Amino acid sequence: MVNPCIFCSAECCKTYTITTTIFDILRIASKARKNPEDVCFLHEPRLLSYDPDMVLDTSDGYGYYLLGIRSHPCRFLDDNNRCSIHAFAPLSCKRYPYKLDGKLNPRFCPLASQIIFRFSSSDIPHERLVTELEAHKRLVKAWNRKKGTKEECIGFLIEKARARSL
């Protein structure tokens, strides 16, 4: 089947802040040979819809954050608006435009892509994303009980995620 994204100008990667799990960040950093701290950042949850169980709370007066890829638009788009890390991209990206419930939400996709998506399926199984999201949420919960600064938060997530295996 034809890749639906060949008709696209990567509006999803340019419009959305790419929210990730710490496991996505470690996978990307390892494959791209970068430090995890250079790949991720904490951004304010100014999204129309987000999972409150993924919100990180800090004690340094800044407030609440989601973990995301450091850049907007996504730093991993190449000159042709293609994902240069698709093989190890965040699971939410690999699953887009399918939502967790399996329903299609191709809001930014061109019509040709939307038609192809209706006859194809996600790159990754639903269960894999759910498993990783649940593990990330457990780490978020552990951080929110502990609390600290933004800098401590990223270090905490990296350390705890490296100690776990999915």
Residue 74 gets which letter from DSSP?
Answer: -
pLDDT at 141: 95
- This prediction has a pTM of 0.85
Q: What pLDDT is stored for residue 2 in this prediction? A: 65
Q: Which pLDDT band holds residue 48 (cuts at 50, 70, 90)?
A: low
Q: Tens digits of per-residue pLDDT, 62-117?
A: 778 889 887 778 889 899 888 888 889 898 888 888 777 778 887 778 888 888 77
Tell me the helices (H) and strands (E) count for the chain, helix number first: 7, 3
Q: Is the pLDDT of residue 139 over 90?
A: yes
> What's the pLDDT band for 47 if we cut at 50, 70, 90?
low
Secondary structure in 3-state letters for 123-161:
CCCHHHHHHHHHHHHHHHHHHHHHCCCHHHHHHHHHHHH
How far apart are the C-alpha atoms of 73 and 127, rounded to whole Å?
Answer: 28
Sign of CA dihedral 88, 103, 130, 37: positive
Task: Please list the alpha-helical segments (H only) found in the chain.
Answer: 11-15, 22-32, 36-39, 91-95, 111-118, 126-146, 150-163
> Over the chain, what is the mean pLDDT?
84
What's residue 1's pLDDT?
54
| Higher pLDDT, residue 20 or 62 | 20
